[in-house]
Structure formats: C-alpha cells, structure tokens
C-alpha cells in the first residue's frame, strides 16, 4: 500500500513553534512543513534553519518553508502555538493570558477558515482549555477536529516523576493527570499502576500524593524560571499527538475537548483520556474515578467555566 506523506502547518514561530518544528522534522509521515507567524522574518529564519538540516543522512526529506494562511488549504494538521506567554520576569497563571490570546485565536481561526475546514487543529497556546473551548464552539468548525494538548504534558511529567520513585521506565507508569492544564489539575491515583500493580502497593516507601501533584503543576514554572521558556516537553507532546493522528493509531491520550455530559459535565473543555483517530477525537472515555477524584474534576470544570463566563459567554 502506498503511504501518502502529509502537510502540517505550524502557526506561531516562537519558542514552542520552533520546538514543534524541530521535533516534527524526524517524522517519516510528513512531506511538507510550513510555519506561519505575524513576524514573517522569524518564521522565515526558523524554516530555513530547519530546512538545511533535512540534507543530512537519517533526516527525512521534508519540504520546510514559511508562508501565509493560504498554505493551510491542503494541510492535514494545523498546530496553533501563537500568542502571549508567561516569562520568567512575568510568571503569571496561564489563565491571565485569556483576554489577549482569545483575540489572537479569533484572528487565527478566521484566517484558517478562509482556506480550510478539513484540517485537524491542535491547540497549544494557553490557557489551552479556554482557547480549545472557544475554537470548538465559536467558529462553526467540526469540534472533533479541534484538540487541545491539555494535560498530555502534565501526564508526561507525572509519569516521569513517579518513574524515578519506582525505578522503572516512565512509559511503564500508567496513570493520568486530568482536568485543567493548570493549577486545578488532578492525578488519577486510584488507577495509577505499574504492570497492573497499584502505585501505592508498588512503592516501597509511601509517597505524599499532594506533593507529587504540586510538583507536576509547578514543574512547568520551574522550567520557565530557569530556562526562560518551555518548549521540549510540549514539542514532544505535540509530536506524539501528530503521530497518533497521521497513523490513525487509535491511541488513548489525555487531551482537552469540550465535554458532552461525561461525569455530568457539559459546556467546558478540559482533559479526559480520549481515543484519537485520523479524524480527531473519536471517543471521550469515562474512566473509573473515586468520589474524591470526581469532585476534583468538577472543581476543575467549575474553575474553567467561571473564566468562560467572564471572557466568552458574556
Ligand atoms: P513566544 O513568545 O516565544 O512565541 C509566540 C509567537 O506567536 C511569536 O513568534 C509571535 O510573533 C506569534 N504571534 C503572536 N500573535 C500572532 C498572530 N496573531 N498570528 C500569528 N502569530 C502570532 O511564545 P512561546 O513560548 O512559543 O509560547 C506560545 C504559546 O504556547 C503561549 O501561549 C504559551 O503559554 C503556550 N504554551 C503551551 C504549553 C502547553 O502545554 N499547552 C506549553 C508551553 C507553552
């Protein structure tokens, strides 16, 4: 069977956009990568730098270039990384970016829609749950085709932290961070396991659950304060999602999408484990949660709903 290689567009050529671009350069499934930014010079420079690397052995021969929104016309996937961000001298909660980034997302969604309503859109910009909700519900674009990276990165951080305590490969730590990509995120301790063994049974020394979730939530800020920005973790999270989409993997990943009654929650986007196919979000899973975990999920939903009410549904 002939495998058709695809075109992917990245909107936003900042630290995250450049990280995503660099990560996707290793993809054997991608034929063309385009990067778009209001700062055309930055997009051009990032694309040129990346394009040079494709001449080296073991690098797929991808056509990398910068461009404008007309490039979205034949893109299979569009990744939105544009917008304001927290900085080390201005460490703010992600939700503080809501006002300014809603305007940017409105501009970007209207530009994308001039050229396509077929592409899968991956939302990365923060606050990712609010922007995903906005893009899914206000632009007459098939909502299953819009995916927020949500707690995919937080879940990677959770597995990494627990793997060091368990002394096993992080990929063998099964469990999720769900809810908001932010301070109300929570861990699914009841389902977290190593080879089916509940995490608390596997560990020789008991761990404080609250300490672990705090470390997960604050670790992004730890990177930000020390390095100046975060990009590797999120770039690999996007790469993981792109692979699942392009290969129709039917992988289950914790991503942000507008809930449709799961756990009695509607009209807010947050992360639950979802089956990802080549058409986007195929199924939102209601995994077993304890009463405490369910109440944390509802608290996360209520927190996000208050922001939606303040900035969007006014
Ligand atoms: P950055 O400041 O380095 O880059 C932002 C880029 O967006 C700039 O190049 C800017 O020119 C561009 N831009 C601004 N408005 C635009 C518009 N209307 N159209 C096109 N381009 C536009 O920021 P960054 O570090 O790359 O972060 C980008 C976003 O990603 C932020 O919102 C940040 O909070 C978010 N982020 C999300 C996660 C996650 O887990 N979801 C992780 C890290 C960063």
Dihedral of alpha carbons 181, 141, 240, 223, sign: negative
pLDDT value at residue 82: 98
pLDDT value at residue 93: 82
Phi, psi of 186 (to 5 degrees): -140, 160
pLDDT value at residue 89: 80
Give the alpha-carbon dihedral of 280, 288, 240, 94, to 10 degrees: 90
66: left (phi over 0), alpha (psi -120 to 50) or beta: beta
pTM, rounded to two decimals: 0.97
Picking from 95, 81, 130, 93, the residue whose alpha carbon sits closest to that of residue 257 is 130
Active site residues: 181
Rounded distance, CA 104 to CA 107, Å? Answer: 5
Q: For ligand 1, is residue 256 a contact (CB within 6 Å)?
A: no
Q: For ligand 1, is residue 127 a contact (CB within 6 Å)?
A: no
pLDDT value at residue 88: 84
Q: How far is the CA of 240 from the centre of ligand 1 (A)?
A: 19
Is 231 strand, coil or helix?
A: coil
Residues 6+ apart with CB under 8 A from 59: 25, 26, 53
Q: For ligand 1, is residue 125 a contact (CB within 6 Å)?
A: yes
List, in sequence order, every residue forming a beta bridge with 55; answer none if it has no partner.
Answer: none
CB contact at 8 A, 72 and 37: no
Q: How far is the CA of 10 from the centre of ligand 1 (A)?
A: 11
Residue ranges in the chain modelled with pLDDT below 50 = none
Q: Which two tokens stand for residue 237?
A: 């999270």
pLDDT value at residue 86: 87
């Amino acid at each position: 069977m002939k495998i058709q290689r695809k075109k992917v567009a990245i909107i936003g050529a900042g630290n995250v956009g450049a990280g995503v671009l660099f990560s996707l350069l290793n993809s054997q499934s991608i034929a063309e990568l385009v990067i778009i930014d209001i700062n055309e010079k930055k997009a051009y420079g990032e694309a040129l730098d990346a394009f040079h690397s494709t001449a080296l052995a073991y690098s797929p021969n991808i056509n990398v270039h910068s461009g404008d929104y007309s490039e979205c016309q034949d893109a299979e996937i569009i990744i939105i990384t544009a917008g304001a961000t927290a900085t080390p001298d201005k460490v703010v909660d992600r939700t503080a970016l809501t006002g300014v980034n809603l305007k940017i997302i409105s501009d970007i969604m209207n530009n994308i829609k001039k050229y396509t309503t077929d592409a899968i859109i991956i939302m990365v910009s923060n606050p990712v749950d609010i922007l995903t909700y906005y893009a899914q519900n206000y632009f007459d674009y098939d909502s299953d085709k819009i995916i927020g990276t949500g707690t995919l990165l937080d879940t990677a951080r959770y597995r990494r932290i627990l793997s060091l305590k368990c002394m096993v490969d992080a990929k063998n730590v099964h469990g999720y961070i769900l809810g908001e990509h932010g301070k109300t995120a929570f861990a699914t301790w009841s389902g977290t396991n190593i080879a089916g063994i509940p995490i608390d049974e596997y560990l020789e020394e008991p761990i404080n659950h609250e300490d672990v979730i705090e470390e997960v939530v604050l670790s992004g800020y730890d990177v930000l304060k020390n390095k100046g920005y975060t990009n590797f973790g999120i770039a690999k999270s996007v790469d993981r999602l792109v692979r699942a989409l392009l290969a129709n993997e039917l992988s289950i990943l914790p991503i942000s999408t507008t809930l449709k009654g799961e756990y009695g929650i509607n009209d807010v986007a947050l992360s639950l484990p979802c089956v990802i196919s080549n058409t986007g979000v195929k199924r939102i899973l209601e995994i077993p949660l304890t009463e405490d975990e369910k109440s944390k999920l509802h608290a996360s939903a209520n927190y996000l709903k208050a922001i939606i009410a303040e900035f969007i549904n006014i």
